[in-house]
A and B are shown apart, each in its own frame.
Chain A
Amino acid sequence: MNRPLEAGLAVLGAAALVLVAWAAPWLKFVLTLALAKGIAVLGILLLLRAGQVSFGHAMFLATGAYTVAFLAPEMPEALLLLPLGALFGTALGLVVGLFVARYRDIFFGMLNLALSMVLYSLLEKLYALTKGTDGIRVAGLTFAGAQPAREIQEWIMFALALGLALGFGLLVRAYLGSPMGQALAGIKTRETRLEFMGVPARRVLLFAYVLSACMGGTAGALVAMTSRHVTPQLAYWTSSGELVFIAILGGAGSALGPFLGAVAFELVRVYAAAQVADAWQMILGGVLLAVILFAPGGVWGILAARFKARA
């Protein structure tokens, strides 16, 4: 749906991000994190298509991030750490998914939350391994063997995040239009019919779940390599809530939604925190309320409606 709008917005949005990152270097960091989170939120969007909400998806992001933190001292190559973060996220997604894909609705959401809190506790309590709440610093990354200047490294991370965001966006778009993706949406409306067509609904959901975990792991690796510091907070349930928040803010109607939502979220957070340090959470809460009440399609829904009105 809205193919030209999606393509146009993706190109325009990518160009705008590059321009902003170039004009305001301090925002480059914020935007890189926003793109990384957008990739994780893309995973939330997949599950939303099946009518399922995961309140624990930050566990995959944390897995990717800690993979980088644990391995970086031995193997500082960013271009290897990134796929490894994705791989460990995917592996955990498969193990957890085999279990949670049997459940639906509130049970699905709460089981995800519970498992993410188990991971959080482990990261916090196993001090000898994880340094507890102090977290682990990620230092001395190399890029293709070289260790470029800090400014260049920031640009590389930004470019990696942007490239992966576009790549995963295209992948998710193709997937959602495929029989597998359409069957995923069928879980939301008529799971019994899927079974009566000989389609194993559980496996359809598991596939989406593992894909979403892969994107979570990728996002976590990007976050760790950008912020250079990982803490158990990454796996805390509020972090998972934030991903769901961004999904709703951006809108579930398009693979662009998560990135619109993530950029809007991070910018609101940065500016609101700077202007009204004590009340920025309240502002975010107000924004979410306004979206739910007046724009249930999120930022994407607003843009799509504008475009349709003009066309």
Chain B
Amino acid sequence: MSATAPLRPLLSARSLRLAFGGVKAADGIDLDVMPGEFLAIIGPNGAGKTTFINMTTGYLRPQGGSIDYEGRSLLGLRPRAIVRRGIGRSFQLPQLFTEHTVLENAALAIAARAGLWSPLTPLLRPGWRAEAEALLDRFGLGAVAGARADALNEGARKLADIAMAVALNPRLLLMDEPTSGVAASEKMGVVETLVRVLRQAGVTAVFVEHDMDVVARFADRVAVWSQGRIVALGPPQQVLADPVVRREVIGIEAHA
């Protein structure tokens, strides 16, 4: 491929449609996610942001349109199969194994990537333990590795949740509000850690975010969702300066 050839999108959605009763959660979504970029999704509650993530990861089936990943369709695949294709996700409410330690959580994710069909060798075997510890260190969670997952504060739980998704070596990571519930004082630290790790790992990221400071600072592009449509798409400085976006989207959020 020559240097001037256009980059093929990693993820490509075309005319996605899905309605819940009369509510259009996706009303003709067209979106390309390019390899290596950080794409922020913003928009008021109920605009269909999480629906987009759920459709991409196989939890909701669109009523129309297509989603291709690396040139192949994702439609009809189960969440498990989509994970194996290289798409990870993290959750608005962290989904951790609450009765396990943080280290065991990370090791389980590593075991899942390796295929965990070995009922007799211990989970915390030396190789996996070392990898889990290294992963947690990268996320700044080394100090709480031995703590039970339900004992962590919200910021650490969010990071642990994302660390488990990263352990699966995804090429594309979808994050649903990675900073919601994180105390304001921790927020920038959490995001900085996150972005550093993801950039190092070469992961392409799509994240739903309500904090415009985070979006302005870390996103390469911003997609603005409203009533199941993308109403603006571009670099943050351009999109966030758009008066319609400021009034319709950011204005609403300031009151939320």
* 12 A–B pairs (Cβ distance < 8 Å), ordered by A: A174-B120, A177-B123, A178-B116, A178-B119, A179-B107, A182-B123, A185-B100, A190-B97, A195-B79, A196-B57, A197-B109, A198-B113
Task: Collect the chain A residues with CB atoms within 8 Å of residue B84's CB.
Answer: 198
Assuming the A-B contacts A195-B80, A197-B108, are A189 and B98 also in contact, with contact meaning beta carbons closer than 8 angstroms in the complex? yes
Query: Which B80-101 residues sit within 8 Å CB-CB of chain A?
Result: 80, 83-84, 88-89, 95-100
Residues of B within 8 A of A (CB-CB), count: 31
> Contact partner of A177 among B80, B97, B122, CB < 8 A?
B122
Q: Identify the 3 closest CB pairs spanning chains A and B, nearest first.
A: A179-B116, A197-B112, A179-B111
Interface centre among A175, A182, A183, A196 (most CB of B within 10 A): A196
At the interface, yes or no: B117 with Cβ under 8 Å from chain A?
A: yes
Interface centre among A177, A179, A180, A193 (most CB of B within 10 A): A179
Bound state CA distance, A145 and B164, in angstroms?
A: 56
Task: Collect the chain A residues with CB atoms within 8 Å of residue B80's CB.
Answer: 195, 198-200
At the interface, yes or no: A207 with Cβ under 8 Å from chain B?
A: yes
Query: Which B53-98 residues sit within 8 Å CB-CB of chain A?
Result: 57, 79-80, 83-84, 88-89, 95-98
Bound state CA distance, A40 and B213, in angstroms?
A: 59
Q: A196-B79, A196-B95 are in contact. List 10 more A-B contacts (CB 8 A).
A: A182-B104, A185-B99, A192-B95, A193-B97, A194-B112, A196-B165, A197-B164, A198-B80, A199-B80, A200-B80
At the interface, yes or no: A104 with Cβ under 8 Å from chain B?
A: no
- Is there contact, CB below 8 Å, between B117 and A180? yes
With both beta carbons as reference points, the residue of chain A lying nearest to B98 in the complex is identified as A189
Bound state CA distance, A186 and B109, in angstroms?
A: 11
Task: Collect the chain B residues with CB atoms within 8 Å of residue A174's CB.
Answer: 119-122
> Contact partner of B120 among A175, A192, A195, A200, CB < 8 A?
A175
Task: Collect the chain B residues with CB atoms within 8 Å of residue A193's CB.
Answer: 95-97, 164
Bound state CA distance, A153 and B99, in angstroms?
A: 45
Query: Which A176-230 residues sit within 8 Å CB-CB of chain B?
Result: 177-183, 185-186, 188-190, 192-200, 207
How far is the CB of A121 from the nearest CB of chain B, in Å?
A: 35
> Contact partner of A196 among B83, B104, B113, B118, CB < 8 A?
B83
With both beta carbons as reference points, the residue of chain A lying nearest to B96 in the complex is identified as A190
Interface centre among B80, B118, B164 (most CB of A within 10 A): B80
At the interface, yes or no: B168 with Cβ under 8 Å from chain A?
A: yes
How far is the CB of B86 from the nearest CB of chain A, in Å?
A: 10
Task: Collect the chain A residues with CB atoms within 8 Å of residue B99's CB.
Answer: 185, 188-189
How far is the CB of B251 from the nearest CB of chain A, in Å?
A: 34
Task: Collect the chain A residues with CB atoms within 8 Å of residue B165's CB.
Answer: 196
